[in-house]
């Protein structure tokens, strides 16, 4: 794994120092360790000649730019009314039971963090969830448990 500063430098070199490139730079830096630390934000700000407050404002606006350490696989459960009406609560309960954690927590082995968000853009095929950037739709409790088992087998 690259050092924090080299990840920042590499992302800025790849995308350029223009303000319009801040989001892809933050995404790339976040990908290097699955979250953005305060130091990452300061380093990005320094490299791009932006204020740390501005970079933090952008980073904290987007739910996918985690500002605290997360597990290897981040599970986002959609909590919109349409997914809820299609059974997202049962999906969430099945995940909590299978992973032995509650929303906002990370498994003791660091493999999964379970979170909720207002929308992931798949409500028409709900209930839906994302694991990292991979969408899963038309979920059932059985389907979710199989997905989690597959992720455990991969790692």
Summarize pLDDT for 69-122 with one digit per residue, the tens: 889 999 999 888 988 899 899 999 999 999 999 999 999 999 999 999 888 888
The predicted pLDDT at position 3 comes to: 56
For the sheet containing 134-136, what is the strand order?
112-117, 73-78, 129-131, 134-136
Looking at the fold, whether 146 and 84 belong to one and the same domain comes out as: yes
Q: Are residues 57 and 77 in the same domain?
A: no
Residue 63 pLDDT > 90: no
Is 18 within a domain?
A: yes
Read off the CATH number of the domain in which 126 is found.
Answer: 3.40.30.10
Specify the higher pLDDT residue, 2 or 76: 76
57 occurs within a structural domain? yes
Whether the predicted pLDDT of 140 surpasses 90: yes
Residues 105, 148: one domain?
yes
- Both 146 and 86 in a single domain? yes
103/143 same-domain check: yes
- Do 148 and 90 belong together in one domain? yes
Residues 88 and 120 in one domain: yes
**Do 88 and 56 fall within a single domain?**
no
Q: Per-residue confidence at 147, pLDDT binned at 50, 70, 90?
A: very high
Name the band, by pLDDT with cuts 50, 70 and 90, for residue 2. low
Quote the domain boundaries for residue 145: 73-154
Instruction: Give the residue ranges of DSSP H helices in the chain.
Output: 4-15, 22-33, 38-48, 52-61, 81-85, 88-99, 141-154
- Residue 39's pLDDT is 94
Q: What does the pLDDT read at residue 11?
A: 94
Our count of domains for the chain comes to 2
Domain match, 82 and 150 both: yes
Does 67 fall in a domain? no
> Which of 139, 12, 146, 85 has the alpha carbon at shortest distance from 4?
12
| 88 and 136 inside one domain | yes
> Do both 100 and 132 map to the same domain?
yes
- Contact indicator for 123, 78 with CB cutoff of 8 Å: yes
Task: Give residue 1's pLDDT band: very low, low, confident or very high (50, 70, 90).
Answer: very low
Please give the Cα distance from 40 to 30 (Å, whole number).
9
In this model, does residue 65 exceed pLDDT 70? Answer: yes
49, 103: one domain: no
Contact 70, 34 (CB under 8 A): yes
Tell me phi and psi for residue 139, to 5 degrees.
-75, 145
pLDDT-based confidence at 54, cuts 50/70/90? Answer: very high
Q: What is the mean pLDDT of residues 47-70?
A: 91
């Amino acid at each position: 794994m690259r050092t924090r500063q080299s990840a920042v430098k590499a992302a800025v070199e790849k995308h350029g120092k223009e303000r319009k490139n801040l989001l892809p730079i933050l995404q790339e830096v976040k990908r290097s360790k699955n979250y953005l630390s305060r130091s990452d934000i300061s380093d990005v700000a320094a490299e791009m000649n932006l204020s740390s407050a501005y970079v933090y404002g952008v980073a904290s606006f987007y739910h996918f730019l985690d500002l605290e350490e997360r597990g290897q696989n981040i599970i986002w459960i959609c909590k919109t009314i349409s997914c809820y009406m299609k059974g997202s609560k049962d999906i969430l309960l099945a995940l909590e039971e299978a992973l032995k954690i509650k929303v906002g927590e990370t498994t003791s082995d660091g493999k999964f963090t379970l979170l909720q968000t207002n929308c992931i853009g798949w409500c028409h095929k709900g209930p839906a969830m994302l694991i990292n950037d991979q969408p899963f739709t038309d979920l059932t409790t059985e389907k979710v448990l199989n997905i989690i088992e597959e992720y455990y087998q991969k790692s």
